[in-house]
Amino acid sequence: MVTILSFLFFTGLVGLITWWITHRDDHASSSGYFLGGRTLTFPLIAGSLLLTNLSTEQMVGLNGAAFNDGLCVMVWEVVCVVALVFMAWFFLPRFLKSGVATVPQYLEIRFDHQTQVITNLIFLVAYVGILLPIILYSGATGMIGILDVPSMLGDLPERVGMSTDSFALWLIVWAVGIIGSIYALFGGLRTVAVSDTINGIGLLVGGFMITGFALAQIGDGEGVAKGAELLLDQQRERFNSVGGPESSVPFSTIFSGIFLLNLFYWTTNQQIIQRTFGASSLAEGQKGVLLTGALKLLGPLYLVIPGMIAYHIFSGEDIKADQAYGMLVNRVLPAHLTGFFAAAMIGAILSSFNSALNSSCTLFSLGLYKSVLRKDATEAQVVRSGKIFGWIVAVIAMAIAPLLAQTDSIFGFLQKMNGMYFIPIFAVVLVGMLSRRVPASAAKIALLAGFGIIAIGYFVEPFDKIVASMHEFHFLGCVFAWLVILMLVIGEIWPRETEFVQEDVGAVDMTPWRFAVPAGLVLIAIVLLIYQRFADFSVLVP
């Protein structure tokens, strides 16, 4: 009862504070609804970026990966800092200069309208079929373990003819999906950003609490330092930043698919970077992005170490890796703090879900409804179309999510499926920004060919065996290189009639932050130092 009451109190408090801050905002115009009126400052941008990323597919999935593979999975947290630096230095200035609300809008400016429509459709299919269901499923899995939902249900599942685990999964998925939809569809981007920032504080505090309490528990009354010493002694070979050939992240894949996936995620993924498009100036956007990079350096402490602690505690038990984090939280936290952390976890689920849902609405309303289906639509009609589409998408995602219970590792499944649309879109955006003569036909061929080739490589025999033999991340790197070369060759043979020249539409002040370059260099240096400190290359020797 204490757990449930504290959970309801903290969840309600976040909702009340968010409403109080944003209830007078402009939710009627497309700029106000989809971009927060371009008024976001760096604390809101950093908080929203961090928590949109820091959802349960990270808390549950990455800690589950650490349960299996150890410290080397920190690659997903540490290498992304380099991608964030590139976002601040190279990508963000180009997006803000064009004043766009979506990545496909930028591609329409650089290439043509058809490229924008194709990219929109790829994003929407990926978000509805992959991202949103995974967010809901991983969130529900974590909540079931933390709150011990099956014990609360009693014999209710039996009365409706379902197993307890299945009933709990469906119940949490639909509860979270409905609440997240209300946040995203009635509030708009600034409401999402504010609630993200508030929840971000709670989740960071909660994440560090889990690590602290867990280390104290394995320290057997002698404190956190003793627990950390014991963990390091007993898992010394697993405290290795270098992934061996048998791990989910072999060291060589850092330089192919993993780095590319990180680059796309933090520089081109609409769900993540939409809040940077709402920056009040380039300087505020750069500060927000680089602050996110600094905070991500702390990520392994609450996204990797707890998974390794769970391995220490539960390694003799027959549990799935994705169950380890929820079980650890339930084991180490007292009841009143369990409720607080459950509220923070719900905040994380809601953050990622409503951010992806808000981005889906933005892509549909501005990219398809306004530009294809109804070009004369008013501002009110555009916003209304997004809300209706959002409810349809939310229901589909809630129906798909429980079906993911058959996957072995939700985080590994997410990264694999992300590659299908990450790689072709990132290749087109990068070539578009670096070249002036590559034509629209090259972009359309790359988008369709890249998506198709990766899907065939994953799911069609005998091509899936070829991909499995070379590791899927190397496969993604090869496809990316091929797409870039293909586009450049087409640009040489059939170039644009005139060179592309990007215009500054004056959406925001484009004066860069004067410390952007030195701050970025410091972050990259810290990444290299972290890897050097924990590297043991002997695992690469047969």
**pLDDT for 30 beyond 70:** no
How many domains does the chain divide into? Answer: 1
Find the domain containing 324 and state its range: 1-15+39-102+111-405+516-533
Closest to 441 measured CA to CA, from 495, 398, 404, 396? 495
Q: What is the pTM of this model?
A: 0.81
Share of the chain above pLDDT 70, in %: 87
- Structure confidence by residue, pLDDT tens digits, 7-25: 666 667 766 776 676 556 5
Give whichever of 38-52, 122-136, 336-350, 467-481 has the largest mean pLDDT: 467-481
Dist. CA 35–CA 42, nearest whole Å: 14
Residues paired with 279 in a beta bridge:
40
In a domain, 466, yes or no: no
In a domain, 433, yes or no: no
Tokens 């484009």 -> residue: 510
In a domain, 430, yes or no: no
CA-CA distances (angstroms) from residue 329 to 148, 266, 306, 490? 10, 29, 9, 54
Dist. CA 42–CA 45, nearest whole Å: 5
**pLDDT for 28 beyond 60:** no
Q: Residue 242's domain is classified under what CATH number? A: 1.20.1730.10
In a domain, 80, yes or no: yes
- Structure confidence by residue, pLDDT tens digits, 254-285: 988 889 989 988 999 877 887 788 888 999 99
In a domain, 416, yes or no: no
In a domain, 410, yes or no: no
Dist. CA 81–CA 24, nearest whole Å: 35
Confidence of residue 151 (pLDDT cuts 50, 70, 90): confident
**pLDDT for 36 beyond 90:** no
- Structure confidence by residue, pLDDT tens digits, 426-460: 999 999 999 999 999 999 999 999 999 998 998 88
**pLDDT given for residue 408 in this prediction:** 62
- Structure confidence by residue, pLDDT tens digits, 159-217: 777 777 788 888 888 887 887 777 655 555 556 666 666 776 777 788 888 999 999 98
- Structure confidence by residue, pLDDT tens digits, 53-99: 776 667 778 888 899 899 999 999 999 999 999 999 999 999 999 98
- Look at phi and psi of residue 242 and say left if phi exceeds 0, alpha if psi is from -120 to 50, else beta: beta
Give whichever of 135-139, 189-193, 487-491 has the largest mean pLDDT: 487-491
In a domain, 450, yes or no: no
3-class state of residue 495 by DSSP:
coil
Tokens 């790689």 -> residue: 423
3-class state of residue 43 by DSSP:
helix
Which residue would you say has higher pLDDT here, 118 or 3?
Answer: 118
* Angle ∠(79,277,519) on CA atoms, nearest 5: 40
CA-CA distances (angstroms) from residue 453 to 154, 405, 438, 463, 490? 48, 27, 21, 10, 18
